[in-house]
C-alpha cells in the first residue's frame, strides 16, 4: 500500500470484501428488475468510476454506459450547493431506461439537480444507484432506488473517492483523518 500523505491517515470504514458482496447483490437486483430491457448506466465522474466498473460486470442486461462530470465540491470537503456540468453525456437518453451510478449522496444537492436535469431529457425511466449514503446531512430528498451502504457523517476516501485527487486507489472505503482529529 502507498505510504500515507503527511498529516493524514486513513481508517477502513467499509472493507473491500463487503463492497464486493454488496455490488454483486445490487447487480443481481438490477438485472432482475429491468427484465432484459436495454439499460443505460450514467456514471458520475470521477468518484463512481470504480463502483460502476464493478457493478456493470454484475449486471446481466444489454447495457450501454455514458459518463458525466459534475462539480459541486471544488477543493473543499463540504458541498457548495452549486452544481456545474463539466462533461455532458455523449449520447441522448431520450426513450431509454437510465440508471444514474453515483459514489455518495451527502446533502443530496448534486443528485437532486441531476435527476431533474436528466428527467427533462425524456428517458423512459430514471433511477439512481449509489454506493454510499450519508443521510445525516441531507438537505433535499433524493429517490435512491439502489443503495450500497449508509455511513455516518464522516469524510471518506477510497474505492474511487478522493480528496484533491488522492486515495482513489484504496480498495476499502476509508475515513480520512487529519492531524489533530480523533
Ligand atoms: P452532495 O451534493 O450530495 O452534498 O454531494 C455529492 C458529491 O459530493 C459526491 O458525488 C461526492 O463527489 C462529494 N462527496 C460527498 N461526501 C463525500 C465524502 O465523504 N468523500 C468524498 N470523497 N466525496 C464526497
Tens-digit pLDDT string for the chain (182 aa): 555 788 999 999 999 999 999 999 999 999 999 999 999 999 999 999 999 999 999 999 999 999 999 986 554 555 556 688 999 999 999 999 999 999 999 999 999 999 999 999 999 999 999 999 999 999 999 999 999 999 999 999 999 999 999 999 999 999 999 987 76
> Is residue 104 within 8 Å of residue 134, measured between CB atoms?
yes
In the chain, where are the structural domains located? 16-153
**Each residue's pLDDT tens digit, 115-159:** 999 999 999 999 999 999 999 999 999 999 999 999 999 999 999
Rounded Cα–Cα distance for residues 181 and 10 (Å) = 12
Best residue among 106, 138, 151, 172 to mutate for probing ligand 1's pocket (most ligand atoms within 8 Å of CB) is: 106
User: Global pTM?
Assistant: 0.93
Asked, as a colleague might, if the bond just before 46 is cis with ω within 30 of 0, I would say: yes
Gap from CA of 37 to ligand 1 centroid (Å): 30
- 128 is written with which cell numbers? 439512481
Report which DSSP code applies to 4: P
Active site residue 164: no
In CATH, what number does 16-153 get? 3.40.50.2020
Q: Which of 54, 103, 106, 172 is catalytic?
A: 106
Q: Give the C-alpha separation, 180 to 159, whole Å.
A: 25
171 alpha carbon – ligand 1 mean position (Å):
18
Q: Which of 159, 127, 160 is nearest to 146 (CA)?
A: 127
Q: How far apart are CA 140 and CA 112, in angstroms?
A: 7
Does residue 104 line the site of ligand 1, with CB under 6 A?
A: yes
How far is residue 90 from each of residues 54, 66, 138, 181, measured CA to CA in Å? 22, 7, 30, 42
158 lines ligand 1 (CB under 6 A): no
* pLDDT computed for residue 181 by the predictor: 74
Query: Cell 476499502, residue?
Result: 172
State whether the beta carbon of 161 lies less than 6 angstroms from ligand 1: yes
Give the contacts of 78 (CB within 8 A, at least 6 positions apart): none
Ligand 1 centroid vs 176 CA: distance in angstroms? 13
Give me the count of residues in the chain: 182
Amino acid at each position: 500500500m502507498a505510504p500515507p500523505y503527511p498529516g493524514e491517515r486513513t481508517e477502513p470504514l467499509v472493507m473491500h470484501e463487503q463492497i464486493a458482496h454488496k455490488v454483486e447483490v445490487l447487480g443481481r437486483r438490477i438485472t432482475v428488475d429491468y427484465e432484459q430491457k436495454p439499460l443505460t448506466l450514467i456514471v458520475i465522474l470521477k468518484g463512481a468510476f470504480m463502483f460502476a466498473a464493478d457493478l456493470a460486470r454484475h449486471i446481466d442486461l444489454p447495457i450501454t454506459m455514458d459518463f458525466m462530470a459534475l462539480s459541486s465540491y471544488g477543493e473543499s470537503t463540504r458541498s457548495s450547493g452549486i452544481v456545474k456540468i463539466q462533461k455532458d453525456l455523449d449520447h441522448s437518453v431520450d426513450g431509454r431506461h437510465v440508471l444514474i451510478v453515483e459514489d455518495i449522496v451527502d446533502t443530496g444537492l448534486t443528485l437532486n439537480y441531476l435527476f431533474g436535469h436528466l428527467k427533462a431529457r425524456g428517458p423512459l425511466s430514471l433511477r439512481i444507484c449509489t454506493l454510499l449514503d450519508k443521510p445525516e446531512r441531507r438537505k433535499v430528498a433524493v429517490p435512491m432506488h439502489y443503495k450500497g451502504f449508509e455511513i455516518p457523517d464522516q469524510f471518506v476516501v477510497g474505492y474511487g473517492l478522493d480528496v484533491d485527487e488522492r486515495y482513489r486507489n484504496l480498495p476499502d472505503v476509508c475515513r480520512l483523518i487529519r492531524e489533530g482529529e480523533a
